[in-house]
Structure 1
């Protein structure tokens, strides 16, 4: 079995470990953080395509259990008028419904599956360099230790060290033009299994209520990039007051939801990677946000990483060589993820999504029937 080094123990790294293990490889996860403990942090919506990807490695049930379902989306104008209410994703099957959960909860569910299946996770391993020779790659970590395998997968996120090794000239992450606020209240606003999207005058706002009656919310606010020092130094109550004043002119519940929020409020700058020219070398490869981070407007970041995991594992399982596998993976994934980056950037800029420039795969990057085949574990991969 091929020994594969996975740098990063987040959503993408854990998912690709599960997929590679199922494909017969020997994955080992190297995570920079010294322990698996994480704060509650921001939440995400895991879309149906992400749940379908998880089903291929028998992890959909544990993730479904960790979150709560979303089966409809209601869109509301700043005036409070309903614009539309539509079904959300593949909602007929409980295991393909959208799920709302904290990122830390998703990682915890995946990590538990990884450990249950005997996959090794090593903490406190921050990658600093890597060298390739004789059909192998050796990673060097900050504590001085090394590891050697047939492939190194960089699943180390937006500020990827692996990306800096593969493509040293790559432009750094780009500020996408929005600050993103996340918060939780103990007051229920809205209906079960429905996410409300508000097209506000000063912010795009979304909220959903959990079965326990807790409201999860986010606000995407256009503006200049916030310095890290200001984010760290500003107390939650000051952000809350500022955001309530911004939202109060609209005839929607957004301001009241934020006003009912205590200290569980956080803010970050939305960033993306508009172009990463090199995803791979002979023995190193990028997946997830390390290769194709999008701003959060489409809500597809985690789901795209889960798709990556399945397609890569199938390519390594089915291709005649390592080179062919990596080439097939990139050929299949680039159209879809680049389309997502572009559409998310349009939404962030306040423009409606429009078809990408014509590609052989069609305006959506990858036709739906082709995506289904790519994610179907039983179907052979093809480039």
Structure 2
């Protein structure tokens, strides 16, 4: 697009901040609007996959993220009763030295937010978009009795609870999933835990406990872990009524090695509830509005793609605006660039969720027997690695990006580098 656009970005999460940086770099007039009084991260740990890391590399932010996060080489899961490994997905099953990066949402937010501030992109807080309105040749939105605009384009990056999604060409609302999780960010424990793996223990699919190393939330602080317990949100009140000691005893039944993590939890206020829902908005646009991240597509975290999909959306929108002559053409192009990848990973996440979070017996039995055996036979390890890495269908090539040299990047995220940094 040859001329500058006036663009409002609703939501200061990873997708919104990345979009602001990309579009500002392209010469557009960008403003970010955040509903909270202070822009801040929501949630606990996540894994940045090679897809999301590639977008951050394009923004010049990969070294900063590697300094805060923790390299992840594999995802493992074991049956709680037998101790037998039933899930072992390795990034090294793929060529090129790929890896994941465990990080806290606060660290990802800080890196992006600092870049947005440095780029002098204004962020207006305490502004919750409520409804859209045409304003001459542009579009505006209402927030708290005030009307903001006009803009040439609004980017809705406000998450799964978007109030603007009803303005999409074909609106959909999230369908609540039965299971969620409670999370805590705790000090990392070395003994008994792999610092370069997401580790989980299962009792069928109704019980899951996991530990994800997430590096440093505060650059000057110690290393942290995201600790999570899968449960139905409807069961939270009963869990609290039974008492903290009863819950800890139940966790220890599933995974005794978690005692040092449980010792750090003194009350339920340290645990945050994550509710999961599923929806896929296609096309990801309306009239002068486009949707990215969880506002456009959300699902359970079984494949760990949420923040990565938002970063890919941001890069795809930037590319679509760059290559198109008109706004409508650009929004259609954005949808075309992301459509197949979104459909594939939304379908995979929805299909895999019952294997790990459900009340059934047959699917977890298949996971622990048939699937566990098949996962050892090529090319299944490579397919599983690509699913977790997010690289199926090559979403980066479609939006004009390439993966960085992971061999060089991995030196920054290596155990040796981490040790030197701690020394």
The reply to whether TM is greater than 0.5 is yes
Q: TM-score range by the shorter chain?
A: 0.7 to 0.9
Q: Which residue of 2 aligns with 1:371?
A: 395
In the TM superposition, 1:26-105 aligns within 5 A as 26-37=29-40, 41-78=43-80, 79-83=82-86, 85-88=88-91, 97-105=99-107
Tell me by how many angstroms 1:234 deviates.
4.7
Contact 1:56–1:376 under 8 Å retained in 2: no
- Between the aligned partners of 1:173 and 1:219, the Cα distance in structure 2 is 23
Does the 8 A contact of 1:200 with 1:247 survive in 2?
no
* Residue number in structure 2 paired with 1:266: 271
**Distance between the aligned counterparts of 2:399 and 2:392, measured in 1?**
11
Q: Distance in 2 between matches of 1:224 and 1:214?
A: 25
SS in 2 for 1:36: coil
Question: How far apart, in 2, do the equivalents of 1:165 and 1:373 lie?
Answer: 30
Aligned length: 360
1:290 pairs with one of 261, 278, 295: 295
Residues of 2 paired with 1:337 and 1:199: CA distance? 28
Is contact 2:104-2:214 (8 Å) kept?
no
Q: After the TM superposition, which residues 305-320 of structure 1 pair with which residues of structure 2 at under 5 Å, given as runs?
A: 305-320=310-325
SS of 1:106's equivalent in the other structure is helix
Superposed CA deviations along residues 248-307 of structure 1, whole A, max 9, x for unmatched, are: 443653566445533464242532233435532230111110010111221110000000
8 Å CA contact 1:8–1:155 kept in 2: the answer is yes
Match of 2:211 in 1: 207
> Is 301-310 or 172-181 further displaced after alignment?
172-181
Runs of 4+ off more than 6 Å? 89-93
Say whether residues 1:7 and 2:10 are aligned partners: yes
Runs (5+) with no aligned partner, structure 2: 216-221, 356-362, 372-385, 404-423
TM-score w.r.t. the length of structure 2 is: 0.75
The answer to whether the 8 Å contact 1:7/1:127 transfers is: yes
**1:333 equivalent among 308, 329, 338:** 338
1-structure distance, mates of 2:208, 2:139: 45
Q: Deviations over 1:301-338 (max 9, x none)?
A: 00000000000100001112111111111122122223
Q: Secondary structure at the match of 1:161?
A: coil
Q: Is the 8 A contact 2:157 2:293 kept in 1?
A: yes
- Coordinate RMSD, CA, aligned: 3.3
Structure 2 contact 45–212 (Cα < 8 Å) conserved: no
TM-score (norm. length: structure 1): 0.82
Task: Give the conservation status (yes or no) of the 8 Å contact 1:17–1:27.
Answer: yes
Of 246, 250, 254 in structure 2, the residue corresponding to residue 250 of structure 1 is 254
Q: Matched residues in 1 for 2:194 and 2:277: separation?
A: 32
Give, in whole Å, the separation in 2 of the partners of 1:42 and 1:345.
22
Q: In the alignment, what sits opposite 1:131?
A: 133
- Summarize the Cα distance change of 1:251–1:117 in structure 2 as closer, same or farther, 3 Å threshold: closer
Rounded to whole Å, the distance in 1 between the matches of 2:33 and 2:95 is 35
1:318 and 1:252 mapped to 2: Cα distance? Answer: 55
Distance 2:141 2:233 in 1: 38
Contact 1:80–1:250, Cα closer than 8 Å, also in 2: no
The structure richer in helix per residue is 2
CA distance in 1, matches of 2:402, 2:126: 36
**8 Å contact from structure 2 (residues 173, 279) kept in 1:** no
Distance 2:155 2:121 in 1: 15
Distance in 2 between the 1:288 and 1:112 partners? 20
Residue 51 of structure 1 contacts residue 97 of structure 1 at CA under 8 Å; is this kept in 2?
no
**2-side partners of 1:143 and 1:226: how far apart?**
38
* Structure 2 residue 229 is matched with structure 1 residue 216: no
Question: CA 1:91–1:48 in structure 2 vs 1: closer, same or farther (change >3 Å)?
Answer: farther
Deviation, 1:15, is: 0.9
